[in-house]
Amino acid sequence: MRDKYAMREAFAAGNVPQPAYGLARTLDEAVEQAARIGFPLVLKPLVDNDSGYFRRVDDVAELTEHFPAVQRGAWSGIAHDPLYAWAVETYDSAVLLEEYLPGAEVSVESIVVDGHPHVVAVHDKPVPMEGPYFVDVHYATPSRLPAEVRERIAELTAASHRAVGIETGAVHTEFRIRSDGTPRILETAARLGGGPVYQSVLLSTGIDMVAAVLDVASGRTPDLTPGPGPRPRPAGFYLFFAEKAGRISGIGGVEEALRNPRVHEISLYRKVGDAVDVPPRVWQSHGHVIFTADSEAEFTATFDELVKSIRIETE
């Protein structure tokens, strides 16, 4: 589950639609793989490095420029990882190369009970993620995709679970949706969605995924019935970053956001005086705001307001 190449191989064996892929230990191998896969492509760490050191490259010149830095970054700072020694021996510091998939991106939150998957929520990622780096900024649920696309996503989510052998627990799965509505899987993870995903699902559906995981772990059947009231409700979050590296000199818009009745939580991970960096050297945002609305239009307007009001100033 945490070996991205092994996951790709499992999806291939299970006929789960996915991008073309390959391994490269050297720049020469990367150029050979690129000739087979085609540009643009994405360079990715093999061992889980969150979203750090994912990089889109559009041609041989960019591949030549960025492959060494991605390779160094992918294998640095993770010696504490239980997979590290095994992965170095197995892959010899290789990098995963994948076909770049244009289109909208979604995340799927599921609970698997006795081998049967239950899709609890699908989040759209309305801010385009085209690279060169791929950092989550905005999640919104329920998904606005057509019903037939969401049905296909649910089918492929279940297929991905079977392919990698997940039979119980929480699963977080991500897809790209092509212009013709066809989903292709990015990856899946045997865990709850990170960051504010839990709160977003709870606010939208009334389903408590932590309680569901505890039920499954305790041998009880989880209650995955949407809560009372009009469900699902538009909900989601905005993850904010500094625009440039430096030391935080000010954080604006927080009090204004807290006065907004649609805002449920705002959390700052950094404070004035802290040094901050930008992708690809960091992946985590500097804070989040969780919000809901009574309609899709109101939800979109709230996001636009928060983007304009919350500012992290650096010097």
- Model confidence at 254: pLDDT above 60: yes
- 67 vs 184: CA distance, rounded Å: 25
Q: Residues with Cβ < 8 Å from 116, sequence gap 6 or more?
A: none
Average pLDDT for residues 9-29, to the nearest whole number?
98
Report the chain's C-alpha Rg in angstroms. 20
User: Over the stretch 268-310, which tens digit does the pLDDT of each residue have?
Assistant: 999 999 999 987 777 789 999 999 999 999 999 999 999 999 9
The pLDDT of 112-124, averaged and rounded, is 96
Average pLDDT, the chain: 94
- CB of 178 closer than 8 Å to CB of 184: yes
